[in-house]
Amino acid sequence: MRLHRLTITAFGPFATTEEVDFDALSAAGLFLLHGPTGAGKTSVLDAVCYALYGAVPGARQSPGAALRSDHAPAGTPTEIGLDLTVGGRRLEIVRRPAQLRPKKRTKGFTTEKAQSRLREYDAESGTWRALSRSHQEIGEEIGELLGMSREQFCQVVLLPQGDFARFLRADAEARGRLLGKLFDTRRFAAVEERLAELRRAAEHRVRAGDDRLLAVAQRLAQEAGAGDRTAHSTDNRTTPPPADPTAPPLPELRPGDAGFAPAVLEWAAVVRTGAHEWSDIIEAALSAAESRAAAARRALDAARELATLQGRFAETRRRAEALEEQRAEHERARARLERSHKAELVAPALSLRADAEQEHRSATAEHARTRTLLPAGLMDAGAEQLATLEGNLRQELGALDAARRAEHRDAAITAERADLERQARADDEVLQEAADWLAGWESRRGALQDRIEAAQEAATRAEQLAGQLDPARDRLDAARRRDTLDAAASEAGQRLNSAREHANTAHEHWLDLRGRRLAGMAAELAARLVDGEPCAVCGSAAHPGPARAADGQVDAAAEDAVLAAYRRADETRGLAEREHTAVRERHAAARAAAGESSVAELAALTERLEREHTEARRVAAGTHAAREALGRAEREYEGRLTAQREAERRVAARTSRRDALESEQSALRSELRRARGDADSVAERAARLADRAGHLAGAAEAVRAVETTALRLKEADGRLAGAAFRAGFDTPEAAADALLTDTDRRQLQHRLDDWRAEAAAVADRLAEPETRAAADHPPARTEAAEAAHDAAERALRDASSAAATAGGRRAELGRLSRLAEAEVRALGPVRDEYDRVARLAGLTAGTSTDNERRMRLESYVLAARLEQVAAAATVRLQRMSSGRYALVHSDARTGGQRRSGLGLQVIDAWTGSARDTSTLSGGETFFASLALALGLADVVTDEAGGVRLDTLFIDEGFGSLDDQTLDEVLDVLDSLRERDRSVGIVSHVADLRRRIPTQLEIIKDRNGSAVRQATERSP
């Protein structure tokens, strides 16, 4: 990546447009960026970063930081343009951040959205070609070409020496955080976390499998302990059941133990064997009960069969007597049925005569009805005359078809003219409404646009208030802590004074007792003298005048007690001093954060800001609704115009159509007046003619029907008389009386059939030998057989229930045992998987004993990167230190529970020893951190895909070097030109302005900063 030109407008301290020609600066390979403090040296680097990534580095990208220059005129937009070559492509990036601009029509400001533009230079045509205006697309394009994130770019191109000085002195965790950001080792941390999740999941599955196996064991224990207490019977006597099988108790099982699964399987086998033995015993008892129940059943069946035969014989005798009583009625019914069969031969003639008589009566009635509908002169007319008159009317009716169509057309024209009138009224309303609405369009659109601008201003105001609200809340919290700590500090001071007084009193008391004890020390020693033993002071074995203890003599125990009390009081004083100091420090910090404002003032300020912020957000929230309202109004405006034009077009077309319809209808109505005659309408005239024709046709048909039915009735009477005589009846009426309906005939035949069937059944049953033999035996006794059978059945049910219980328990224990075996088989692979995953998770997390250095996987990867950085840095560090120093990576553990992997040491060639980087002096720390920064830049560049970085910036730190070291450092930086690089040094050191001829100077004044380039030494 090579920078060519940077253009800055209204950015940071630069009020107008400033241009930096990096091609001129890079020609010398090494250039100096200098200027007074606050002039804007760092802002130049911020502008480069913002042009590439749309954000400034580090803390300067905070939400409250403003990119726009306070010195810039209101109409000058903030803009950064960068011309560079990257990835073999010449690109130009122009960015404008979101900023306020004056409104065009009204007073005030509105927020202008951020804008970005990317162009590429076409060498063949010599022109710039636009690529994109999308923030996202430009960011993806630049990120892909550079191969670095913004954090990596700021670390390897804008080399921050202070960060690397801290990096040299940092512990392993701090180094890990920085290296993790630069080399993006999140995937290795994700591997650690994923393995930990797999370990937890596998552990959960193992625990769940153990719990399931324990649940199966508990169900086995429950099923095995359910004793079978079903009663058994022997020889019809109920006896107590044998004792329940004693199942072995469930052993003490602990899920997770190595022998948990084998113990469950062994205990299940024992329980299952006992259940099988007990089931065999119950099956033998059931077989005996079944034999006794079968014998009782056979005896009961024999008794019931004898009772049935005896009852059957008695019932048959009663049925024979009843048949004899019904014999006379049976003969009468048989004779009536035979006479009905003869009358059926006359039935067709009777039916034919009845049908003919009915038809004649109907025809006569219809003829009488139709005569009343005819004129008086035609009531006695014949069928032929009536038919002739009907034909004449039908011809006249056919002539009215054309008039009927004209009448329908007249009605259609009337409806169409009414519809045209309705449409005309509707279009008049549309035209009036559109004219009224369009008259107020301009004022309505202006109001909606003002509403949008007000919402945008409120959004800007809300952002400003949000930046003021958090500091106000922090000051309010600090003021409350300050007021609370006022009382706490006073109380702590009182406790400290009290503790000091108490400690002084205890100290004086101890000194007093100690003096009194020393004064009576002779008596204390004399009290220890023993006759015949030497004195500890003089050595004499004789003690002629030992000292006597005075009143109030103090011994060692009393002095020790007072000394202990003094030490406790002194500890209390020390604790009170520490508490008082801590409270004062917190109070001072709270006062510094809150200032001198009261809680009420800060609360009022915070409340006002919150209220204004809430109101601004409420108004700003209406931006989208206001835009939607304007869009809807504009769409309605277009719709109103379209509706107005369509209505005018329809009015013109409707006028010509109305004239044509009026002319056509006038001609039609003249024709209709001739066709209607005295009727109100053609339809009415046609209806009258149709009614008259219909009456004539009906009358003619009725006359013909009367003549035809009279002839049929005469023929039916003759046929009926002949059929009655042939069937043996004197008159047709006698034959009609002998006829039976189908229902009566079927009922009578059923009665005859039932009597004959009953007689045959009684004769057959009386002839049965078993029935006659049963009647000769004594009456059957079924009650005793039923009692014996019931007792045997109860014994069988009890035995069957016991067998079912034992069999069910046997089957359930077998099923549960198989379930336990399946759980054990399923648990084996799960437990193996857990052991394997847990070992891997512990190894990558650095907690396993196999990981001797307790190094995490991410730390291991970063250690390799740090080793590369140290090797790359050593190449330049040795030149800067005249071969004395070299940086090496160390993975030794630092003691305690700390993990290893990211240690950094400096090798001193003069002493041959390795020491910590924190022991370097200020100048040594600078060039060591510079070498580290350059080495890191090389490694990160290679890591990013070998993107060539032709322009680097180094920020400050040269003032701590002596002349010789400064020369060596500049030689190293100058050697970067061997790789066709240019290096920009940001520094205040005056000596550098003499050593580096190519300079970029930032000049500041009260109206903003300016840029001046020089390629020769200043005079």
* HEC assignment per residue over 802-847: HHHHHHHHHHHHHHHHHHHHHHHHHHHHHHHHHHHHHHHHHHHHCC
Residue 281 CB neighbour total at 10 angstroms: 16
540 has a pLDDT exceeding 80: no
Nearest of 37, 7, 28 to residue 956 by alpha carbon = 37
Nearest of 1013, 1016, 1014 to residue 19 by alpha carbon = 1013
Cα separation of 825 and 819, whole Å? Answer: 10
**Which of 418-432, 607-621, 710-724 has the lowest average pLDDT?**
710-724
135 has a pLDDT exceeding 60: yes
**What is the arithmetic mean of pLDDT over 562-591?**
85
**What is the arithmetic mean of pLDDT over 174-192?**
70
Higher pLDDT, 787 or 400: 787
**Which of 279-288, 515-524, 754-763 has the lowest average pLDDT?**
515-524
pLDDT at 160: 57
pLDDT at 702: 76
pLDDT at 760: 80
pLDDT at 166: 62
Cα separation of 370 and 703, whole Å? Answer: 9
Percent of the chain with pLDDT over 90: 2
Cα separation of 251 and 260, whole Å? Answer: 10
**With bands split at pLDDT 50, 70 and 90, how would you rate the model's confidence at 518?**
confident
Residue-wise pLDDT for 246-276, tens only, equals 566 666 666 666 667 777 777 777 777 777 7
The torsion angle over the Cα atoms of residues 453, 454, 457 and 461, rounded to 10 degrees, is -170
pLDDT at 119: 92
Cα separation of 134 and 744, whole Å? Answer: 104
DSSP H helix total and E strand total for the chain: 26, 19
What phi and psi values does residue 995 have, to the nearest 5 degrees? -85, -30
Q: Per-residue DSSP letters for 883-943?
A: T-EEEEEE----STT---S-EEEEEETTTTEEEEGGGS-HHHHHHHHHHHHHHHHHHHHHH
pLDDT at 6: 92
229 has a pLDDT exceeding 70: no
pLDDT at 717: 76
62 has a pLDDT exceeding 50: no
Residue 290's SS3 state is helix
**With bands split at pLDDT 50, 70 and 90, how would you rate the model's confidence at 1017?**
very low
444 has a pLDDT exceeding 60: yes
11 has a pLDDT exceeding 80: yes
Higher pLDDT, 579 or 203: 579
pLDDT at 242: 41
pLDDT at 228: 41
**With bands split at pLDDT 50, 70 and 90, how would you rate the model's confidence at 95?**
very high
296 has a pLDDT exceeding 70: yes
Cα separation of 180 and 859, whole Å? Answer: 9
pLDDT at 9: 92
124 has a pLDDT exceeding 80: yes
244 has a pLDDT exceeding 60: no
Residue-wise pLDDT for 592-643, tens only, equals 777 778 888 888 888 888 888 888 888 888 878 888 888 888 888 888 788 8
Cα separation of 270 and 248, whole Å? Answer: 8
Residue 980 CB neighbour total at 10 angstroms: 11
User: What H or E segment, with its residue span, contains residue 119?
Assistant: strand 115-122
Sheet holding 115-122, edge to edge: 127-132, 115-122, 89-96, 79-86, 2-11, 14-21, 1008-1014, 999-1005, 30-34, 982-986, 951-955, 158-160
**What is the arithmetic mean of pLDDT over 29-52?**
84
853 has a pLDDT exceeding 80: no
Cα separation of 113 and 106, whole Å? Answer: 19
Cα separation of 466 and 602, whole Å? Answer: 16
DSSP H stretches of helix in 677-768: 682-726, 732-738, 742-766
227 has a pLDDT exceeding 70: no
**What is the arithmetic mean of pLDDT over 19-43?**
83
Q: Please, what is the angle between helix 161-169 and helix 172-183, to 10°?
A: 140
pLDDT at 352: 81
pLDDT at 963: 65
Cα separation of 862 and 936, whole Å? Answer: 12
Q: Please, what is the angle between helix 441-519 and helix 599-620, to 10°?
A: 150
pLDDT at 190: 76
**With bands split at pLDDT 50, 70 and 90, how would you rate the model's confidence at 63?**
very low
CB 520 within 8 A of CB 554: yes
pLDDT at 91: 92
CB 707 within 8 A of CB 359: no
pLDDT at 238: 38
54 has a pLDDT exceeding 80: yes
8 has a pLDDT exceeding 90: yes
pLDDT at 94: 94
The mean of the pLDDT values for the chain is 76
How far CA 147 is from CA of 131, 827, 944, 961, in Å, comes to 19, 49, 5, 34
